[in-house]
Chains A and B, each alone.
Chain A
Amino acid sequence: MHRFIRLSILLMGLFAASSSYSADVQLAPLTTADDLGPAIEQPIEFPHNRHAGLRNPNDPTNSDPLKGGMEINCLYCHTYARRDSVAGIPPIQKCIGCHQNIESVRETPRIKKLFEYWEAKKAIPWKKVHDLPDFVRFNHERHIKRFVFQQNRPVQEVCGACHGDVKTMTVARRQKSLAMGWCISCHEKDHPVTASGNGSLINAEGMPSSMGSLAANGVSIGSQAYWYGFKKPAANAAGAEVAKGPNDCSSCHY
């Protein structure tokens, strides 16, 4: 009997300790180790590293395909990302636009395949790599506008926050968990609110006068959304709560 009681106390203690520890651990911030998704076979093995990878400093002409990239801006091909909720796959037209002038690789198997599609005027059946469930509405445009255009961060850093270091991959592969908690880990975090960021939203023209008092405070937090998963935002100097980003369920789910 003694053993039984002792054992059970021990077990319960262990359970309580381990669960409270795990429950209290903050979610992984943006920079943590990657959560690699499965490798995906695409109709054309598209070399992201070759297109977006860094130039090889030892090879200014960039002639060796194995040793360096073209440093093409992500938004050059994924052009919808800054204007649209979806980033989009570039139309084949875009690939051809460049590749019809690049004779050096014209006869490689991948490019031949590309031209086959082009000549048949057939769309390439790409597989979707970052496929969120249908009830999640992620908006590329806002993220790009905010971080690239308003905060002047490097494009690859901004895209890489969710898509990982694509410039080192051939076919893209999911690098982050993309689970809701992972998204929240960012929205909870204290983003720097710059003058061109949240502040300007409030100071803009056309804003009704009665909202002037809000100008310094940023967007105020809602009443309960953070309870279901969001950290209560810190108050700023004026004592008002400042949101770090959209934090209602209905910002992403509707």
Chain B
Amino acid sequence: MKDINEDIAWAKINTDVLRSLESPRKLYWVIVFGALAVFSVAVGCEVYQYNMGMGVANMDNPHVWGLYIATFIFWIGMSHSGTLLSAILHLMHADWRKPIYRFAEAMTTFSLMTAGLFVMVHLGRLWQFYYSLPYPNDRSLWPNFQSPLLWDAMAIFTYLSSSVIFLFVGMIPDLAICRDHLHAGWRKKLYTVLALGWEGTDRQWRNFRVTYLTIACFLIPLAVSVHSIVASDFAMSQQPGWHVTSFPPYFVAGALYSGCAAIITLFIILRYTFKFEEYMTLAILKKTVRLTFAIAMVWTYLNAVEFASVWYSHDIASKEVLIQKATGPYAIAWWGMIFCGSVVPLILAFKRFQTNIPVLLVTSLLLNLGMWLERWMIVAPTFSHGIYPWTWDHDQWPSWVQWGMVFGSFGWFTLLFMVFCKVFPSVSMYEVKEMVYHRTLASKKLEDSGMQESGKGAH
């Protein structure tokens, strides 16, 4: 099985991809309007919460964080897959990433934007958000540079801006193609501006390669640090269940995990919606699935490490939180997380399921559910079973406002993503051309040496 058909003409690539900007299937519009509707639920919830106060989300003292923070971590986690596919695999010269990295990268950007929203809706005084920004002001005040939350805000902003730049820079040659192929209209103007005068000269290509590589190198440590810092929000605190040294790698693994799962989901949806069967091939899907499986096992291992380190520690409170997770009111969610996160991925180990689209769609959704539950199980049980027994487990169940916001965030993400796919080429044209070219060269080479082998790239 080949990653991509080597016979695709370059012109056909252009036509196929550009067609996605013009005429997707009907399903596209269904998804867009569905997403809009779902997102409006979140908007409604936020308007209500903003006016009434945070109480309508049904958090309490001391259970002050709820689904917002959990879902925030979830979306931050989602963002990591894009970087993994586009930057890490780019550096590793795994060229099968080429047809799919663009949408993965877009996913990074949009999930970060979604995560940012959760920080906002979580704040009790959203309108004073700017207090947390370090800028000279007439109050002569700086934020608290000691707070992990501030590092968090900074890390996310940096990551977001870097991802946008990476996404944009990587798109420049394609934007030029769009500019050259589209009829006049607002889009053409847009592409003209965004293409930055790309002519495809040697010099431009040279500069482009260097820039792209530099940003990729920059982005990888950033991605790791972002989720490590998110982990610090918890690890730097003194609360049982949070004060865990292994949290940063655990969080990063979880992030990559959920991101990969989401890529599988979106892969399947895009492939169908925009008729990208020729580019998003099952061979690539298979590779992605294998990658996901590997990460799932890493995550499972780190999870076990965390449990073991708590279990054999002398920290009674942490141990109680762990027991509470497995037996208390959150038991269903916690066991759900174990099942979805560690058991379900075993399906991916079977070859016959690695290309079975319906199974993969369901599995990837389950994996994501598991990862969302994981985040919730990090945040919530510590509050309801913390250090101080008097305050244990008051009535606390997220209200419909919280659920609505979580639900709506998927609408927001999908909306952004779908609009992006319609406006920008979601498959990198120039890189697919490169890939086809390289593959052709490679198979020629192999033919020459008589060592025909299919399915593997030359690199």
Beta-carbon contacts under 8 Å, A161-193 to B = 177, 179-182, 184-185
CA A27 – CA B139 in complex, angstroms? 10
> Is the beta-carbon distance between A182 and B204 smaller than 8 angstroms?
no
B136 at interface by CB-CB < 8 Å: yes
A199 at interface by CB-CB < 8 Å: no
* Residue in chain A with minimal CB distance to B143: A228
A102 at interface by CB-CB < 8 Å: no
Are A229 and B138 CB-contacts (below 8 A) given A1-B196, A4-B196, A5-B207?
no
> Shortest Cβ distance from A245 into chain B, in angstroms?
14
Are A180 and B138 CB-contacts (below 8 A) given A1-B196, A1-B207, A228-B144?
yes
Neighbouring B residues of A27 by C-beta, 8 Å: 140
* Residue in chain B with minimal CB distance to A187: B140
CA A184 – CA B137 in complex, angstroms? 12
Neighbouring A residues of B135 by C-beta, 8 Å: 23
CA A22 – CA B136 in complex, angstroms? 8
Task: Provide the A1-31 mask, 1 if CB < 8 A to any CB of B, else 0.
Answer: 1111100000000000001001100010000
* Residue in chain B with minimal CB distance to A188: B140
> Shortest Cβ distance from A229 into chain B, in angstroms?
4
- Give the contact-size bracket for chain B: 10 to 19
* Residue in chain A with minimal CB distance to B205: A1
> Is the beta-carbon distance between A2 and B207 smaller than 8 angstroms?
yes
B335 at interface by CB-CB < 8 Å: no
A227 at interface by CB-CB < 8 Å: yes
Query: Which of B136, B144, B197 has most chain A Cβ within 10 Å?
Result: B136
B12 at interface by CB-CB < 8 Å: no
B142 at interface by CB-CB < 8 Å: yes
Beta-carbon contacts under 8 Å, A217-235 to B = 227-230
Neighbouring A residues of B352 by C-beta, 8 Å: none
Neighbouring A residues of B208 by C-beta, 8 Å: 1
> Shortest Cβ distance from A232 into chain B, in angstroms?
13
Contact of B139 among A3, A23, A181 (CB under 8 A): A181
Neighbouring B residues of A19 by C-beta, 8 Å: 136
B314 at interface by CB-CB < 8 Å: no
Contact of B204 among A1, A181, A228 (CB under 8 A): A1
Beta-carbon contacts under 8 Å, B201-249 to A = 203-204, 207-208, 211
CA A60 – CA B401 in complex, angstroms? 75
> Shortest Cβ distance from B55 into chain A, in angstroms?
21
CA A110 – CA B140 in complex, angstroms? 43
Instruction: Identify whether the interface residues of B are mostly helix, strand, loop, or mixed.
Output: loop
Neighbouring A residues of B137 by C-beta, 8 Å: 181
Task: Provide the B128-142 mask, 1 if CB < 8 A to any CB of A, else 0.
Answer: 000000011111111
Neighbouring B residues of A229 by C-beta, 8 Å: 139-142
CA A5 – CA B214 in complex, angstroms? 14
CA A90 – CA B211 in complex, angstroms? 71
> Is the beta-carbon distance between A184 and B207 smaller than 8 angstroms?
no
CA A180 – CA B142 in complex, angstroms? 13
* Residue in chain A with minimal CB distance to B141: A229
Neighbouring A residues of B203 by C-beta, 8 Å: 1
> Shortest Cβ distance from B179 into chain A, in angstroms?
15
Neighbouring B residues of A227 by C-beta, 8 Å: 142, 144
Query: Which of B141, B198, B204, B207 has most chain A Cβ within 10 Å?
Result: B141
Neighbouring B residues of A23 by C-beta, 8 Å: 135-136
* Residue in chain A with minimal CB distance to B139: A180
> Is the beta-carbon distance between A179 and B136 smaller than 8 angstroms?
no
CA A2 – CA B206 in complex, angstroms? 11
CA A102 – CA B211 in complex, angstroms? 84
Contact of B138 among A3, A4, A181 (CB under 8 A): A181
Neighbouring A residues of B204 by C-beta, 8 Å: 1
CA A227 – CA B144 in complex, angstroms? 8
Neighbouring B residues of A228 by C-beta, 8 Å: 141-142, 144
Neighbouring A residues of B207 by C-beta, 8 Å: 1-2, 5
> Shortest Cβ distance from B284 into chain A, in angstroms?
31
* Residue in chain B with minimal CB distance to A181: B140
* Residue in chain B with minimal CB distance to A24: B136
Neighbouring B residues of A182 by C-beta, 8 Å: 138
CA A184 – CA B142 in complex, angstroms? 13
> Is the beta-carbon distance between B140 and A184 smaller than 8 angstroms?
yes
* Residue in chain A with minimal CB distance to B196: A4
Beta-carbon contacts under 8 Å, B96-139 to A = 135-139
CA A27 – CA B140 in complex, angstroms? 8
Are A180 and B140 CB-contacts (below 8 A) given A1-B196, A1-B203, A4-B196?
yes
> Is the beta-carbon distance between A177 and B142 smaller than 8 angstroms?
no
Task: Provide the B183-200 mask, 1 if CB < 8 A to any CB of A, else 0.
Answer: 000000000000011100
Neighbouring B residues of A185 by C-beta, 8 Å: 140
CA A179 – CA B136 in complex, angstroms? 13
CA A3 – CA B139 in complex, angstroms? 39
Neighbouring A residues of B141 by C-beta, 8 Å: 180-181, 228-229
Neighbouring A residues of B144 by C-beta, 8 Å: 227-228
CA A2 – CA B198 in complex, angstroms? 11
CA A184 – CA B141 in complex, angstroms? 10
CA A228 – CA B135 in complex, angstroms? 12
* Residue in chain B with minimal CB distance to A227: B142
Neighbouring B residues of A230 by C-beta, 8 Å: 140
Q: 29 pairs across A/B with beta carbons < 8 Å?
A: A1-B196, A1-B197, A1-B203, A1-B207, A2-B207, A3-B197, A4-B197, A5-B207, A5-B211, A19-B136, A22-B136, A23-B135, A23-B136, A27-B140, A179-B138, A179-B139, A180-B139, A180-B141, A181-B138, A181-B140, A182-B138, A184-B140, A185-B140, A227-B142, A228-B141, A229-B139, A229-B141, A229-B142, A230-B140
Residues of chain A whose beta carbon lies under 8 Å from any beta carbon of chain B: 1-5, 19, 22-23, 27, 177, 179-182, 184-185, 227-230
Counting from the closest, the 8 A-B pairs by CB-CB distance are A181-B140, A23-B136, A229-B140, A180-B139, A179-B138, A229-B141, A181-B138, A184-B140
* 20 further A-B pairs in the complex, CB-CB below 8 A; given A1-B203, A5-B207, A19-B136: A1-B196, A1-B204, A4-B197, A23-B136, A177-B138, A179-B138, A179-B139, A180-B138, A181-B137, A181-B138, A181-B139, A181-B140, A181-B141, A182-B138, A184-B140, A185-B140, A227-B144, A228-B144, A229-B139, A229-B142
